[in-house]
Structure 1
Amino acid sequence: MERMEEYIIMEETAALVPQYDEYGRLGTIVYELYDTYKVDQSPKQIMQQSCRYYGSTYEGKVQAAKHILGIRQMAPVSVCEALRLYFFPTCSPDSDRCVWIAQSHIKTIQPHGKKKTKVVLKNNKQLIVDIQKGTMEGKMYKTAMLIFILQQRILNNYEK
């Protein structure tokens, strides 16, 4: 698995999974459609840097999603609307256990024991995440609503 110091989210990015290295530093295993990388940044750092790369701030994206959806916490993030890069956190983004998953790369989700979910990505890679299936479905629904609302707003402007 190739190691990278930094990473920018792109269309092939499917999930950002936190992992501590041998020195106790929080990094990320990045799952793409065709590759997997070890990155020296935390998942949240990758999200922040990627939002800046595409012309916004992570904080701005989170606040906008909270406002649009009428929620208070754990909002999905539209990293880049033009490329349809939408990710949601499995728990608090400040937690070192938070996995970020791209809505567009999920094939199926299945319960895994009582409190975990198996996420099958479109490339058939499987992730086990610490979140109940029903909670995961709720996060997917919120992300789908954010995508729908933002796309409707863009379309409505073109129709005027």
Structure 2
Amino acid sequence: MVKTITPPLIEEYEINRDTMIIMPLTYGSRIYSQIWELEDEYISPFKPIDIIKKGCISFGSSYEGRKEATKQLTGITHKAPITVDSTNSIYFFPTTSPSNSQCIWISQEHVHLHRREDIAKTQILFNNKRTVTLPVSYNSINNQILRTALLKTTLSRRIENLERKDWYFISGRRNLNASEHTGKYSTEEKEYK
């Protein structure tokens, strides 16, 4: 008899660099989340979209704000990839509309490769060699991976440009200060009444 190990049910979950995929799990009449990390697996009593929203808040923005940023940076409005945390390279993309209860969220950073299983199924191989077959077409997954890469690249370039401007501003100021003519300053104390 083969014994199956059920992942632990956790009340609180915070998306982190090790989070690979968040999948809906039907539990009675409710939708829970099955979460795969690089080395662990969990079940959460919250829907995948709720975990994504909480992750955005944890890293300083609302889900709606992240979605609007994706739209402004890339023009993507439907099935938009989300920057949970750009500093730690945490970008997720949905497999369907996020309002669909069967929407799966995948971390682009952990996808090693993906291949067509059949016309409506795609197998994803993660960097840790774990695989999952999803009921989503290859073209749809491929498109989502490319859209997430576009978001990541566009946001990275924007951040680099801002940092470069800051560096020029700071280093330019320093050079201006060094080239100022220094005169003598009076060090006499005067009594004021």
TM-score by length of 1: 0.96
Q: Match for residue 103 of structure 1?
A: 108
Residue 148 of structure 2 is aligned with which of 140, 143, 154?
A: 143
Residue 35 of structure 2 is aligned with which of 30, 39, 53?
A: 30
Q: Which amino acid aligns with 1:70?
A: G
Residue 53 of structure 2 is aligned with which of 38, 48, 63?
A: 48
Q: Distance between the aligned counterparts of 1:66 and 1:13, measured in 2?
A: 24
* Offset, 1:51: 0.6
CA deviation profile, 1:82-115 (whole Å, cap 9, x unmatched): 1110000000001111000000000110101111
CA deviation profile, 1:62-95 (whole Å, cap 9, x unmatched): 1110221112211000001111100000000011
**Structure 1 runs, 4 residues or longer, greater than 4 Å off:** none
Q: Which amino acid aligns with 2:80?
A: A
The answer to whether structure 1 residue 11 and structure 2 residue 17 are counterparts is yes
Percent of matched pairs sharing the same residue: 31
Aligned residues: 159
The answer to whether structure 1 residue 65 and structure 2 residue 86 are counterparts is no
Q: Distance between the aligned counterparts of 2:76 and 2:106, measured in 1?
A: 19
Contact 1:10 1:85 in 2 (8 A): yes
Q: CA RMSD in A?
A: 0.9
Q: Match for residue 134 of structure 2?
A: 129
5+ long unaligned stretches in structure 2: 1-6, 166-193
Structure 1 or 2: more strand by fraction? 1
Q: Match for residue 20 of structure 1?
A: 26
Q: Match for residue 82 of structure 1?
A: 87
TM-score by length of 2: 0.80
